[in-house]
Amino acid sequence: MAPCVDELDYEILLARTTFAKCSKLIQKRCQEIYFVAPGYKIFNTYMVGIPPLPIGIEGDHILIAYIKPCHGAFALKIPGDGEIERIRKELKK
Amino acid sequence: MAKTALLALGCPEFPVQTSTAIYLAYKLQKHGITPVFAGNKSALLLVKVADPERHYYGGKMMDLDITIGALSTGKIDFDLCFVFVHSDSGIVYLASIHALSKGKMVAIVFGKFAEELTEQCKNICEHVLTAPVIHNPLPLKEQVDGVSTWLHV
């Protein structure tokens, strides 16, 4: 099954922009940040971006940059569900 | 075992992409290298419909996100990775595939922002084919012809 962030209840913070602008917003906005390499799996999606890729945690939400080939980069705020604890465990600061 | 080459397509908004990709696939096959196209549905359909008897594209087709997943989990890799770049998204996929694949990376840059994007590509990979074209595939075709000099190195 193809991964699909589209199925999640996300909020768009930035739309149709560059990866760099999304990365900057996430790092400016979130106090808790983890950096991963391309290919890190989150919400059943393998992340792409220019390394290092930020994952921000804001309350019970996760902020990531999501890329669509025809529409550019989006900064998304997504309900964390079980992913926040998993990320904290896997990517200890 | 035959070598394989990934041809990672971007948004197919510029006509030069499909034509160059099909020509590159043809050249790779002439060198005994199997091309594997990756892209979104429209980008792949443009290749498929233009070559119904598979004279030129020959190899496989994969959804781009599934390809990223398969590279991430180590299920596949390629000897060569050609990434088509005409936007910031193209740079993102170039950097990501560079991080995930052990294959030799080649950026194929075109479109309105080719000059600026070429500089970014040079920071990521060694081989960059570039021309500020949208409709005319000949400048890129000439550079693809030159690829054969280092293809097997």
Domains of chain B plus CATH, in order, are 3-147 (3.40.50.10160)
Q: What letter does residue A17 receive in the DSSP assignment?
A: E
Q: Sorting pLDDT into bands at 50, 70 and 90, what band is A3?
A: very low
A51: amino acid identity, one letter: P
Per cent of chain A over pLDDT 70 is: 95
Query: What pLDDT score does A2 carry?
Result: 37
Q: Which residues lie closer than 8 Å to B150 by C-beta, 6 or more apart?
A: B127
Dump pLDDT digits (tens) for B47-65. 999 999 988 888 899 999 9
Complex prediction ipTM: 0.93
Each residue's pLDDT, cut to its tens digit, for chain B (153 residues) gives 789 999 999 999 999 999 999 999 999 999 999 999 999 999 999 999 999 998 888 889 999 999 999 999 999 999 999 999 999 999 999 999 999 999 999 999 999 999 999 999 999 998 999 999 999 999 999 999 998 777 765
CB atoms within 10 A of CB A2: 10
Q: Where are the beta strands (DSSP E) in chain B?
A: 3-8, 33-39, 60-63, 80-85, 104-109, 127-130
* Strand pairing report for A11-17 and A72-79: antiparallel
Cross-chain residue pair A3–B69, CB shorter than 8 Å: yes
Dump pLDDT digits (tens) for A9-48. 899 999 999 999 999 999 999 999 999 999 999 999 999 9
B100 CB near a chain A CB, below 8 Å? Answer: yes
At A43 the three-state DSSP class reads coil
A74: amino acid identity, one letter: F
Cross-chain residue pair B89–A3, CB shorter than 8 Å: no
Cross-chain residue pair B92–A49, CB shorter than 8 Å: yes
How far, in Å, CA of B89 to CA of B14, rounded?
Answer: 14
Distance from CA of A30 to the nearest CA of B (A): 22
For the whole model, what pTM was predicted? 0.95
How far, in Å, CA of B17 to CA of B109, rounded?
Answer: 9
